[in-house]
Amino acid sequence: MSKKWSIAALVLYVVYAVGMYFYIFHGASGGVPATLKGTVADPQTFMTERELYLSDDYSKIRNFLFFVVTPFEWLVYFLILFMGISRVFEKWADTKWRLFKNGAYLFLLNLFTTIVFYPIDIYRYSLSKEYGISTQGFSSWMRDYVIDFWVNFGTTLLIVLVLYWLIQKSAKKWWLYAWLLTIPFAIFMMYLQPVVIDPLYNEFTPLKDKELEAKILSLADQADIPSDHVFEVDMSEKTNALNAYVTGIGGNSRIVLWDTTLNNLTDEEILFIMAHEMGHYVEKHIYIGIALYLLSMLVGLWLISKIMPWMVSKFGRVLNIEKVSDIRSLPLFLVLASFLLFISNPISNTVSRYQETRSDEYAMELTGDAEAAVSTFQNLAKAGLSEVNPPWLVKIFRYTHPPMLERINTIARYTDKNEVETEQQAE
């Protein structure tokens, strides 16, 4: 029976992957609307022919990988269950102390899946190098890869140990107790991220350009944002992409600029980016994000608490799971969590794109520099080889930010609106 289910899962995945291949490479095409041809939003006006070719090629490959890798993860976890590998890991990890048993099982599972996904990860790294996005050497990449493994294992270990202890203690209400613990844990991780985790990967230093720092802090003062320091991070050793962000909460909040951004953009463009990030602060997006995250966690854990016991009772023999509280059921939990996260992407991304649009509008209100805004978006698109107008399915599942075509149009609409208002006032 397990063999039949394994074959069926493989066939279903292959059919899905072939369908996505034709959709990405031969079907959907965003393109540029005829009305915007030749405008500042048209990539042909600010990208070279080679950049246009690389952008189209690179975007399609990345989009295809996104849509096939996550379902491949589900397939791997199901095969781990169908083929009895999960039961073997549980047997190898067996001790009289449940916490040690669950921890050892998680290590074996993480190690196994890391090995399985390593070829995909190395391909992604090579792809980024080939298209000129990554500048990171292999040894540096492997260092980050190992750090990723242990950071992810450490955080997952804490979650899994608590989760399965709760499932064992309260089979019906574990999801509620787990959610209640999620609240302080999420806030703690956000507080910890900028000062403990981020420095494991890169070196953060106070912004060296004090003149630019003064301009940024002056902008922050206009927006009533409490901030004393701006940090720069040495990302040029790893990438040619551009970025800036505000991270952390409370006393650990900080403004961070990638050195690639400092090296490739003008002060006016950097100030527009900073104004955009300040828009997130002013609009309370970080707190809205926390609230939505907690709400989604509540719904997700409740759904898992209903679906998982049903699947174990219905397909327990095929999945080699006797009861939900067995640690060997973890792959099933991970599949359900990943699936729910995947199908919720269109909702969370829609909210995120709305917030990004609001921040773009705020940045225009704060700086009033439409020229810097447009050139910033053009440079971001060039540096990241971004699609300015992706296919619909790609946009709703992948894009947390509006495509560059929409962002430039937002600036154009804002400028036109201001011009009309100015003319009306003059009359």
pLDDT at position 63 is 93
Q: Where are the domains of the chain?
A: 200-287+349-426
Among the listed residues 88, 91, 140, 85, the one whose alpha carbon sits nearest the alpha carbon of residue 113: 85
Among the listed residues 338, 334, 3, 313, the one whose alpha carbon sits nearest the alpha carbon of residue 159: 334
Q: Are 255 and 246 in contact (CB under 8 A)?
A: yes
How is residue 237 annotated by DSSP? G
293 forms beta bridges with none
**Range in 325-329, 367-371, 393-397 the model is least confident about:** 367-371
Please state the rounded mean pLDDT for residues 301-315: 95
Length of the chain counted residue by residue: 427
Please state the rounded mean pLDDT for residues 402-413: 84
Please state the rounded mean pLDDT for residues 311-323: 92
* Segment 55-77, tens digit of pLDDT: 889 999 999 999 999 999 999 99
- Taking the CA atoms of residue 335, residue 336, residue 342 and residue 346 in that order, the dihedral angle to the nearest 10 degrees is 180
Token readout for 197 is 């985790």
Q: Is the pLDDT of residue 29 over 90?
A: no
Q: Is the pLDDT of residue 20 over 90?
A: yes
CA–CA dist 319, 314 (Å, integer): 10
The amino acid at residue 139 is S
Please state the rounded mean pLDDT for residues 136-155: 94
**Range in 192-201, 368-377, 398-407 the model is least confident about:** 192-201
Q: Which residue has the tokens 């828009």?
A: 279
Token readout for 288 is 């809205």
* Topology at the third CATH level for domain 200-287+349-426: Zincin-like (3.30.2010)
pLDDT, the chain, mean? 89
- Taking the CA atoms of residue 191, residue 200, residue 277 and residue 295 in that order, the dihedral angle to the nearest 10 degrees is -50
CA–CA dist 136, 276 (Å, integer): 28
Please state the rounded mean pLDDT for residues 395-424: 77
Residue 301, CA distances (Å) to 293, 305, 350 in order: 12, 6, 22
For residue 420, what is the enclosing H or E element? helix 404-426
Query: 288-293 — which CB contacts under 8 Å span 24+ positions?
Result: 288/355, 289/355, 290/186, 290/187, 290/190, 292/348, 292/351, 293/186
CA–CA dist 78, 62 (Å, integer): 25
Q: Are 19 and 349 in contact (CB under 8 A)?
A: no
CA–CA dist 219, 257 (Å, integer): 15
Token readout for 142 is 């492997």
Q: Is the pLDDT of residue 98 over 80?
A: yes
CA–CA dist 417, 254 (Å, integer): 33
For the chain, the helix, strand and coil percentages under 3-state DSSP, each to the nearest 5: 75, 5, 20
Helix (H, G, I), strand (E, B) or coil at 247: strand
Q: Is the pLDDT of residue 420 over 60?
A: no
pLDDT at position 260 is 92
Please state the rounded mean pLDDT for residues 323-346: 95
Kindly write down the DSSP assignment for every residue of 68-81, as one continuous string. HHHHHHHHHHHHHH
Residues annotated as catalytic (active site), given as ranges: 277
Token readout for 42 is 């048209």
Q: Is the pLDDT of residue 426 over 70?
A: no
**Range in 39-48, 233-242, 417-426 the model is least confident about:** 417-426
Please state the rounded mean pLDDT for residues 219-223: 81
CA–CA dist 45, 142 (Å, integer): 38
Q: Are 229 and 252 in contact (CB under 8 A)?
A: no
